[in-house]
């Protein structure tokens, strides 16, 4: 089976910038977006004012709206100019690597499955790790169907060029909760609750540990999987995986009116340390206190996290 690599992705960007005006302009606009740093509990959050992301942040993802729109990840509905690179996992799961025309990163990919299937990570975590291995310049991420995915009905990963999200390099306070020769699990002990960090040198072992974590998590009534965001990258023979356990899709400030409104719909990138504000008023006014309270609202509570950690420890 032939593999993909970062060079092929580089060529894809060059080709698309030459042929696709909208994408070219959106990437160019990224050079001019405003950004600032806000420290939260010693962690350097970036806040990015990115008006083009309103499409995603304000996306209607209720069942009715999803049913009534044409799926933008299905091949037949994608713009004719959009090209992709095939990624075949274990000879069966077919993905296409596409450039994301509404970028947050200077290089931003969307990686949908060929067929229209629900956004569910179960059984696909190993494919995510394999993608990270084949694209070591990128951090791969997964937004659960109720955790920021704007196409909850069509399975996809995304990827952003490494070196942009603070979580990749900021020193993190962690405590080890499980250790084996192949895989170590830790919990974050500062900045935010409900975050598990996995380090592993084996896809099979990491996938086995992930399945156990997954089976320990609660699934809300009427939902198809536990609320999750996942980031993962590969470096020098091993994988780093960050798993965010969520309790809520959008914070209250998203729905508030007037002064109290902050239009922010946090997903993997925000949790990786880059808060995206599509509206300038929010970029200007957001404080460390706002970020902190949004995080504690959308991630699971410390009581639930303690109980979950104990459950995971008991089955590993
Ligand atoms: Zn689709």
**Secondary structure of residue 82 in the 3-state scheme:** coil
Residue 300, in any domain of the structure: yes
Burial category of 208 from C-beta neighbours within 10 Å (exposed 0-12, middle 13-18, buried 19 and up): middle
Structural domain includes residue 161? yes
Q: How far is the CA of 111 from the centre of ligand 1 (A)?
A: 12
How many distinct structural domains can be found in the chain?
1
Residue 152 CA to ligand 1 center (angstroms) comes to: 9
Q: Both tokens of residue 92? A: 């069966």
What is the C-alpha R_g of the chain? 19
Residue 308 lies in a domain: yes
Instruction: Give the global pTM.
Output: 0.96
The answer to whether position 37 is within a domain reads yes
Within a domain: residue 244?
A: yes
- Per-residue pLDDT for the chain (316 aa), expressed as one digit of tens each? 579 999 999 999 999 999 999 999 999 999 889 999 999 999 999 999 988 887 777 778 788 888 888 999 999 999 999 999 999 999 889 999 999 999 999 999 999 999 999 999 999 999 999 999 999 999 999 999 999 988 999 999 999 999 999 999 999 999 999 999 999 999 999 999 999 999 999 999 999 999 999 999 999 999 999 999 999 999 999 999 999 999 999 999 999 999 999 999 899 999 999 999 999 999 999 999 999 999 999 999 999 999 999 999 999 9
Domain holding 65: CATH number?
3.30.428.70
Question: What residues does the ion ligand 1 have nearby, CB within 5 Å?
Answer: 71, 73-74, 116, 154
Domain contains 1: no
> In which domain, by residue range, is 295 found?
6-315
Beta bridge partners of 235: 238
Position 50 in a domain: yes
Distance in Å, CA 34 to ligand 1 centroid: 33
């Amino acid at each position: 089976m032939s593999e993909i690599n970062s060079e092929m992705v580089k060529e894809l960007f060059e080709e698309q910038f030459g042929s696709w005006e909208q994408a070219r302009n959106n990437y160019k606009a990224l050079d001019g977006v405003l950004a600032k740093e806000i420290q939260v509990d010693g962690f350097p959050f970036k806040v990015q004012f990115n008006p083009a992301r309103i499409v995603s942040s304000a996306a209607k993802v209720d069942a009715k709206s999803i049913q009534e729109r044409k799926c933008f990840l299905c091949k037949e509905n994608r713009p004719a100019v959009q090209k992709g690179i095939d990624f075949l996992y274990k000879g069966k799961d077919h993905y296409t690597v596409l450039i994301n025309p509404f970028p947050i990163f200077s290089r931003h990919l969307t990686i949908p499955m060929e067929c229209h299937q629900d956004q569910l990570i179960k059984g696909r975590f190993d494919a995510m790790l394999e993608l990270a291995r084949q694209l070591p310049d990128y951090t791969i991420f997964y937004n659960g169907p109720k955790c920021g995915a704007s196409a909850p009905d069509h399975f996809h990963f995304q990827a952003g060029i490494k070196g942009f999200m603070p979580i990749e390099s900021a020193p993190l306070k962690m405590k080890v909760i499980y250790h084996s020769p192949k895989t170590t699990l830790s919990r974050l002990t500062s900045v935010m609750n409900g975050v598990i960090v996995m380090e592993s040198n084996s896809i099979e072992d990491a996938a086995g540990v992930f399945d156990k974590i997954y089976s320990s998590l609660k699934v809300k009534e009427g939902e198809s999987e536990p609320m999750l965001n996942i980031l993962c990258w590969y470096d020098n023979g091993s994988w780093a995986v960050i798993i965010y356990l969520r309790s809520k899709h959008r914070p209250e400030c998203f729905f508030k009116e007037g002064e109290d409104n902050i239009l922010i719909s946090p997903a993997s990138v925000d949790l990786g340390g880059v808060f995206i504000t599509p509206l300038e008023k929010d970029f200007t006014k957001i404080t460390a206190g706002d970020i902190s309270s949004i995080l504690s609202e959308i991630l699971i509570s410390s009581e639930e996290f303690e109980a979950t950690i104990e459950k995971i420890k008991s089955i590993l």
